[in-house]
Amino acid sequence: MATKGISFNPTTDIPSLDGKVILITGANSGLGKQAFLELAKHKPALIWMAARSPEKGNEAVADVKRQVPGVAVKLLELDLSSFDSIKKAARTVLEESSRLDILMLNAGLMGCPPALTKDGYEIQMGTNHIGQALLLKLLTPLLLKTANSHPVRIISLASSAWKYAGPEKIQFQTLKSVDASRP
């Protein structure tokens, strides 16, 4: 017996975001870009649009601004495979924003050749998990400050790719090795 899904219409089901500050990682494509577009329609005070590539980020910003004129957006260069980039991006947000209401941890990569991050972690684990965790840790003080007077949301997206891990699952002892990328 099939179950009936929940109906969701972003136009009517997302409340006003007036005064809210939002940060979305990986907002230049896919789910991140669609979330960026849908949230922009509800008039937040600011959306931090985080992307690894400034060129692709600027293209996405221009596209969303064409569809939602007047949306307040700041492009945030963020490479989640680099602790230095994460720290720099977090510093920028902390210096330029007095609040953060919604943090959407969306960026990720999959199916790339075996490699290590700049900090020596297997590229997918380092980018998709460790990088996102560091960003969350660095932005937590701002989220907590905001939470003193307004509800905050942290949204973390993930895929079902864990189903395809080998029989040994995640070998944590190999996270600083390209061997972690191999099945």
Structural domain contains residue 61: yes
52 vs 93: CA distance, rounded Å:
16
82, 55 Cβ separation under 8 angstroms: no
Structural domain contains residue 5: no
Position 107 confidence tier, pLDDT thresholds 50, 70, 90: confident
Structural domain contains residue 126: yes
pTM of the predicted model as reported, rounded to 2 decimal places = 0.88
Residue span of the structural domain in which 105 resides: 15-181
> Can you state the angle between helices 132-147 and 83-96, rounded to 10 degrees?
20
Question: CATH number, domain at 62?
Answer: 3.40.50.720
Q: Mind listing the pLDDT tens digit for each residue in 19-62?
A: 999 999 999 999 999 999 999 999 999 999 999 999 999 999 99
Domain count, the chain: 1
Structural domain contains residue 159: yes
- Residue 177 pairs in a beta bridge with none
Structural domain contains residue 125: yes
Structural domain contains residue 170: yes
Structural domain contains residue 9: no
Structural domain contains residue 73: yes
